[in-house]
Structure 1
């Protein structure tokens, strides 16, 4: 499907609220953008208003009253139905996402499959729960006071606002992990579409609307609001009907929204993923043997999505050695063959260019290698720097995430310097350690130190990519995540949108199914 044909795709440009697409021509409008051609698209979208927020939050609140009472099996059927509807529209969704983001078709097809698979994973979990539930038996004869019977369960928080992510128009947006886990928990969802891909979001919203209808779910369980205005985001998270927020994006915007959530009269949880440099620790012995192959793998990982993965490796930490010099030489050669390219939006590209210019002017930074020179002003050039551990430790701005195809090698004179770099790192989504078994045995304390800085520690593998599964943790200490105890990927992501509740001396008929005596995972104490 070419660009000209895509322009004929019928879109309302409206908001999906309470089962209807609403919006009219007396509103402000905005357009999505083709980042490859650096041109506005002809699709127009209505800016959400305060009235739309009131309608969406009230509709989500009303729907929550019934949706929270659905059985796990009913919610599982709903999630499976969403996956089915997305698959039925996969060709048009992928084509539109490609023109709005510039991401390759194969990447977007894979991302759509991941989106559907994580919906199905939550459905599977609802049908076959693995989490235990606890009951303490009553002991009326205990002294000095009788012991009551108690059972610990979980209930959904309420309406959840989900913000679409710029770099994942499907897997972290309208039907992505935050939406899937919130719906699985029994929460209603209001999606604030990312302004970089509103057409993609509308198409996904239409697929979800069909699943709502086919499963006879309350229509307000899912809403979409389109907007390019920061004020709309602020109004959403401060609305008193919203119970929680899921966000993937920049530290700057995420911190603003997190502070607004905390400053409310009734504060609410803000589950934000705000940035990570995903450090790579290259231990001495493996570098001496495999410097060239490691460098090639490093560049391949760095260039995935033109450096716009949340797990892109942005900092490479190693001891000074001949092996490191060979590693740098291969990095320079490999990066010189990488093309400059557009990014997901002009705003992202401009920020990247500004950050790179600052590093180039820094006296403690050396350019190891650059990619092919940009052909267009909105293209960004891959680049790799090197610096000393001392410079890295003394300059906080060097440690900031650069969202794009760049990395910094941090050269350490000894293991103590490497430990000092670890101490200076902020919280990260993940870190990789490249080495031999002998390295791991000798540097166990160093590895333990790394584990306290990350949500996932990886051995002898590049970090790009996150497996959606039961054991995954995609979070970490701040600013990787605003809640160090949570994950945004994997089955445990559902816990973000549930809260514990203890039933003491409750009549059996009032207990939820997973606290009944017949529940297979009920553990009696």
Structure 2
């Protein structure tokens, strides 16, 4: 099969890498971070040239990239993520004795990671998917995104340098170039154990379907974006139209709307959808000059989808940009709740600086919306303290449709932390139990295994009686660092 040599190297590397102590794996992650920092301005200038993203944005993205590598290093050293669990034997239990049972998470094996177009650093070569897979003990076969190949090559060189410095095999991270057919072959290869993807619904769903058709299906963790609705409650809207419009517009414009958490759908009370709100919203969008999008294909798709959505019945244009080959002008449209409920096309994501305002009459109607809403990465609820306290039923309905529920602020800006969830029900992702941001992302690339009545010398260090690593474990249902 194609790429047999690459996966053979990955499997050979896995045999060693999975047995490394946590300290050695953490050292690799920190060394990769250091090597990326050492690339200096060359990395930023290259990414700027290929993606059109401003240097300030790329500087922050580089910081996010290296910081999440270091965060995963600390997680691996601490060890709790492994969920080491021991149920000691109960030989005298009747009617059936209990054997000694010890469980922990172990790495899956070689993981195929696809780079994202909109984050040339943080969701690409050494981004969150790579960092979490390496942290779990899995070799990575990385499929470069064609939008920023030189940036990817620079980061790849940094990773190779880190592997050499740590005296580890090159099969732990391998870099592949090519188009859709290459991606297909990587996913179909029998030695691939999991797939991570950030991108469009069409791309993510295609990879998921390929993986499901394999003789041995494998998990695909595809983050495919969403419209990230903001629900504005009536009391909150009274007298706050201009401020709310400005806040929403700023989020829509961030990164030329090319964030998967861009709020492209705003539910707003009809009685308060006055010029103070709608005109301010449009003016804030209009006042910001159109900026270059990531590449021509994204820009072309943006205007194509705008035309299709604005042709829908009951959609009124408030702000419509002039089409450009590379720059994405902001757009704003308005419709009613009834039109939105009747037309599934109005739930489709438009990747760019666009928002659709949907006006509703009664706050109780928002429960209909929540029931009709597709899976989202985020949902945001803006209300007064009184409104929020009285909206428990609505909150419960919305919670079922998203991975992150906000009660203030805007969804753009995803903190890399222990508590973050960047995922959600389908079609936002292919697995609502996962996240692609934060330390919980490591769980995607591990599986549980239980050792029953195992001799001490055959147990992993994490499960031995004396607890040589001094880590937290669950022993007979109680968290403990004690030895047995």
**TM-score of the two chains, using structure 1 as the length reference:** 0.88
Q: Distance in 2 between matches of 1:129 and 1:148?
A: 25
Q: Distance in 2 between matches of 1:392 and 1:340?
A: 28
Look up the match of 2:410: 462
Maintained 8 Å contact 2:234/2:272:
no
Aligned partner (choices 102, 113, 133) of residue 162 of structure 1 = 113
Residues 80-159 of structure 1 mapped to structure 2, 5 A cutoff: 80-131=30-81, 132-159=83-110
Maintained 8 Å contact 1:98/1:105:
yes
Aligned partner (choices 469, 473, 480) of residue 522 of structure 1 = 473
Look up the match of 1:205: 156
Q: Distance in 2 between matches of 1:322 and 1:203?
A: 51
The yes-or-no answer on 1:364 pairing with 2:364 is no
The alpha-carbon deviation at position 217 of structure 1 amounts to 1.1
Aligned partner (choices 354, 376, 385) of residue 333 of structure 2 = 385
> Any stretches of 5+ residues in structure 2 without a counterpart?
477-484
Maintained 8 Å contact 1:331/1:369:
no
The alpha-carbon deviation at position 253 of structure 1 amounts to 1.2
Residues 410-421 of structure 1 mapped to structure 2, 5 A cutoff: 410-421=358-369
Maintained 8 Å contact 2:234/2:363:
no
Maintained 8 Å contact 1:318/1:418:
no
Give 3-state SS (helix, strand or coil) of 1:384's partner.
Answer: strand
Look up the match of 2:347: 399
Q: Distance in 2 between matches of 1:70 and 1:105?
A: 37
Q: Distance in 2 between matches of 1:110 and 1:377?
A: 27
Aligned partner (choices 59, 71, 75) of residue 21 of structure 2 = 71
Larger mean CA deviation between 162-171 and 321-330 belongs to: 321-330
Give 3-state SS (helix, strand or coil) of 1:503's partner.
Answer: strand
The alpha-carbon deviation at position 325 of structure 1 amounts to 4.4
Maintained 8 Å contact 1:387/1:411:
yes
Q: Distance in 2 between matches of 1:73 and 1:351?
A: 46
Q: Distance in 2 between matches of 1:451 and 1:324?
A: 29
Look up the match of 1:426: 374
Look up the match of 2:124: 173
Q: Distance in 2 between matches of 1:233 and 1:524?
A: 43
Q: Distance in 2 between matches of 1:449 and 1:280?
A: 14
Aligned partner (choices 355, 364, 369) of residue 305 of structure 2 = 355
1:347-388 residue CA offsets vs partner (Å, 9 max, x unmatched): 1111111110112222310112245x45x4332221011111
Look up the match of 2:445: 497
Give 3-state SS (helix, strand or coil) of 1:336's partner.
Answer: helix
Q: CA RMSD in A?
A: 1.3
Q: Distance in 2 between matches of 1:334 and 1:65?
A: 56
1:223-275 residue CA offsets vs partner (Å, 9 max, x unmatched): 00111x21111111000010000000110111111000011000000000012
Maintained 8 Å contact 1:178/1:246:
yes
Maintained 8 Å contact 2:237/2:269:
no
Aligned partner (choices 249, 258, 265) of residue 315 of structure 1 = 265
Residues 246-285 of structure 1 mapped to structure 2, 5 A cutoff: 246-285=196-235
Aligned partner (choices 426, 439, 443) of residue 391 of structure 2 = 443
Q: Distance in 2 between matches of 1:234 and 1:323?
A: 47
Look up the match of 1:238: 188
Give 3-state SS (helix, strand or coil) of 1:377's partner.
Answer: coil
Give 3-state SS (helix, strand or coil) of 1:171's partner.
Answer: coil
Number of equivalences: 472
Q: Distance in 1 between matches of 2:158 and 2:202?
A: 32
Maintained 8 Å contact 1:189/1:223:
yes
The yes-or-no answer on 1:217 pairing with 2:168 is yes
Maintained 8 Å contact 1:189/1:222:
yes
Look up the match of 1:345: 295
Maintained 8 Å contact 1:188/1:222:
yes
The alpha-carbon deviation at position 415 of structure 1 amounts to 2.0
> Any stretches of 5+ residues in structure 1 without a counterpart?
1-49
Maintained 8 Å contact 1:487/1:493:
yes
Q: Distance in 2 between matches of 1:60 and 1:304?
A: 38
Give 3-state SS (helix, strand or coil) of 2:231's partner.
Answer: strand
Give 3-state SS (helix, strand or coil) of 1:141's partner.
Answer: coil
Aligned partner (choices 141, 155, 160) of residue 190 of structure 1 = 141
Aligned partner (choices 439, 445, 460) of residue 512 of structure 1 = 460
Q: Distance in 1 between matches of 2:39 and 2:247?
A: 35
Maintained 8 Å contact 2:230/2:379:
yes
